[in-house]
Amino acid sequence: MNTKFLLVAQSVLLFMLILVVMMGIGLLYFAPPRPAKTLDTVSTAIPTATPAPAPQSATAQWEYLGVDYGQYSILGTEYDFDAEVTRYELVDVADPYGSMFLDLLTKGCTITDSIVFDIPAQTCIGKNFIGREFVLSVLGKDGWELVAFDNHSSESAYQVDMVFKRPLNPCDDTTPCT
């Protein structure tokens, strides 16, 4: 009798665990997207300097820029329906864009440890959400064209790698970037 009770209790607990995991996946998948900021709502000057072009042959006509963009779930907020912010984003790209996006995303945030385990930093960055459309707009206004897009998303993270190109145009004080 005692072993039967333990077997039933074990089965019920396993079923409840599977149900909770499935609900969490459903909440992440069906969570409404947050509105992204637009260029009009953010007072940030688009950088005029251009990243140093990669070493190329004398006949090269393009310069390329790689961008890693991701939105991640903040640890512990998957089941917290009262959480103000449940996701944060990171943008990894060469300067001058990298430092500009980093400044926008971390404005007012104190990051003391690895961002992966720093829930207060993740929440702060989540409040500074700018959105992928903003990143694309900034690069597009500076002449970059999206030529490759690789999606590495999962249930808990939206992760994409993007490659941009633009005509090779060395800029200096006398020749503006196009």
Give me the pLDDT at residue 22, please. 65
* 80, burial (CB in 10 Å: exposed 0-12, middle 13-18, buried 19+): exposed
pLDDT, one tens digit per residue, over 148-169 is 999 988 877 889 999 999 998 6
Q: Inform me whether the pLDDT recorded for 174 exceeds 80.
A: no
Sequence spans of domains, the chain? 1-30, 62-167
Per-residue pLDDT band at 43 (split at 50, 70, 90)? very low
Q: Percent of the chain, pLDDT > 90?
A: 17
Q: Measuring CA to CA, how many Å separate 168 from each of 47, 53, 146? A: 17, 8, 15
Report d(CA 77, CA 123) in Å as an integer.
10
| Residue 53: pLDDT over 60 | no
Distance CA 38, CA 80 (A): 28
- Write out the two tokens for 129: 């959400």
The model's pLDDT over 100-134, given as tens digits with 9 standing for 90+, comes to: 988 898 899 888 767 767 788 888 888 888 888 99
